[in-house]
Amino acid sequence: MIETKEFLQRRTRLLSQLDKNAVAVIPAAVELTRSRDTEFPFRQDSDFYYLTGFNEPDAVLVLCKDRDEQVSSHLFCRNKDKIAEIWHGRRVGYEQAKTQYLFDHSYPLSELDEQLQALVNTKRVLYYDRVHIATLMIKFGRY
């Protein structure tokens, strides 16, 4: 099992390679429905897992580097939901994800639009994968 500090070191290495005043957006894999009440077996996106160790669907990692090279990591993930957890298994939730996975900030996925705009707005460079972002947007009806 890989220790949480290893994932933090991986994020730190990637952040050190980003340009100044840049942001990287790395989405997790999405949960895909097979039929009305069943999903395909979930497999996390390899890049997302490599940087986070977080194995839940529908999450987004945002890594920021300011002009003065101050860095921060932000995780957006699903809320704890006792009813959903009965059917789909336990969720870490954004509050616990921050401490358990060593993120600087964590937010519920519902705040992604608002917070991402604030994080990206002042940056000069944006790193993202069009295919992964499009998949996430389609899933949440924003495309």
Contacts of 4 by beta carbon, 8 Å cutoff, 6+ apart: 53, 100, 101, 102
DSSP per residue, 111-136: GHHHHHHHHHHT-SEEE--HHHHHHH
* pLDDT for residue 92: 92
Q: What is the DSSP letter of 86?
A: H
Q: What are the residue ranges in the chain where pLDDT is below 50?
A: 143
Using DSSP, state whether 81 is helix, strand or coil.
coil
* CATH number assigned to the domain comprising residue 35: 3.40.350.10
Helical H runs in 18-129?
Answer: 46-52, 82-88, 94-100, 112-121
**What pLDDT, in 10s, does the model give residues 1-17?**
899 999 999 999 999 99
* pLDDT for residue 143: 46
Using DSSP, state whether 72 is helix, strand or coil.
strand
Range of the domain at 25: 4-139
Nearest to 136 by CA among 75, 69, 57, 73: 57
- Residue 37's alpha-carbon distances to 79, 88, 119, in angstroms, are 21, 11, 36
* pLDDT for residue 101: 97
Per the structure, the count of domains in the chain is 1
**What pLDDT, in 10s, does the model give residues 99-122?**
999 999 999 999 999 999 999 998
